[in-house]
Amino acid sequence: MKKIVLTIGALLLVVITIVVVMPKWQRYQELIEAEKLLERELPPVIQAGTSSRSAESAHAILTEVNLDVPFTSQAPHGNWDLPYQEACEEASALMAIRYAFGNSILSAEDADAGLLDLVRANEEILGFPIDQSAEQVMALIHEIDPNISVALLRNPTINLLQSELSQGHAIIVPAAGRELNNPFFHQPGPLYHMFVLRGYTDDGYFIVNDPGTKQGEGYLYTFERVMEAMGDWNNGDPMNGEKVVLVITPFETEN
C-alpha cells in the first residue's frame, strides 16, 4: 500500500511539474532572452534625409540601419480596453505618418489623441472594420494626407526590405501576431498584428517599433521570424495571408 501511495505521489509530482512548473520556466526563459535583446547596443539612429542615400547609391544596402521612427504603444496610457486592444494598425500608421513629416510623438497624451483620431477616421469616414488590411491602412494614411508617399510591396525579400530601409523608408508589416512569439504580448498574442520596421542589425535582426507592448521601441525580431509571420488580414487568416508591406517615404528623402 505504501508503495502505491508513493507511486501516486511521484506521478502527481510529475504532472504538476509538466502542467505548472515547465510553462512558467519557459515563460521565464523567454523573458530573460527578450530582456537581453532589449539591452543590445543598436546602431546609431539615422535621421530622415541624413542616411547615405544618394543618386549613385539610392538602392545600396547599408551594413546596419536604425531610422528615427517615433514610438508609441497602441495603449499609450496602459489601457488595453477597446479601441486600444485592436489599434495596432492605427498605432503603426501614426508612427509612420509622424516619421513621414519628421515629427516626433511628444507624450502619451499626444499619442492617445493621434490614435483616437485615426480610429475615428477608420470608423466614421472610411467605414473600415476593426481589423484592417494593408491596403486599408494605406487608404487611412492617405485620408490623413494624400501627399504622403505610401507604396504597397508584394512578396518582399529580406534584401528588398533592407534596401528600402537603407533609403530612409519606414515599413509597416502586417503579420500573424502569434507567430512573432513576443514574450511581452498578453499570451498567446494577437491573431493579427501590425508593426513598423525601422532598421536592421548586421547579425540578422530587424529593428522594429512594435505597438503591441510598451517594451516595443527598438525591439528585435530575427529576419526569419518577420518573414515567416508576415501576412495580410485575409479575413482573419493572416497565417495564409499575402506577404505584403507598406513602404513610407519621408518628405525629406523624396526625389
**Domain residue spans of the chain:** 1-39, 65-253
Burial class (CB in 10 A: 0-12, 13-18, 19+), 88: buried
Helices (H), 145-250: 158-166, 223-229
Q: What is the mean pLDDT of the chain?
A: 87
Give the three-class secondary structure for 218. Answer: strand
DSSP 172: E
Helices (H), the chain: 2-16, 22-38, 88-101, 108-120, 134-144, 158-166, 223-229
| Proportion of the chain above pLDDT 70, given as a percent | 77
In sequence order, the 6+-apart residues with CB closer than 8 A to the CB of 15 are none
| pLDDT exceeds 50 at position 50 | no
Count the helices and strands in the chain (H runs, E runs). Answer: 7, 7
Sign of CA dihedral 9, 10, 12, 17: positive
| Proportion of the chain above pLDDT 90, given as a percent | 74
In sequence order, the 6+-apart residues with CB closer than 8 A to the CB of 48 are 67, 68, 99, 102, 168, 250, 252, 253
Burial class (CB in 10 A: 0-12, 13-18, 19+), 19: exposed
Q: Does domain 65-253 have CATH number 3.90.70.10?
A: yes
Between CA 17 and CA 63 the distance in angstroms is: 45
| pLDDT exceeds 60 at position 237 | yes
pTM tops 0.95: no
pLDDT category of residue 173 using cuts at 50, 70 and 90: very high
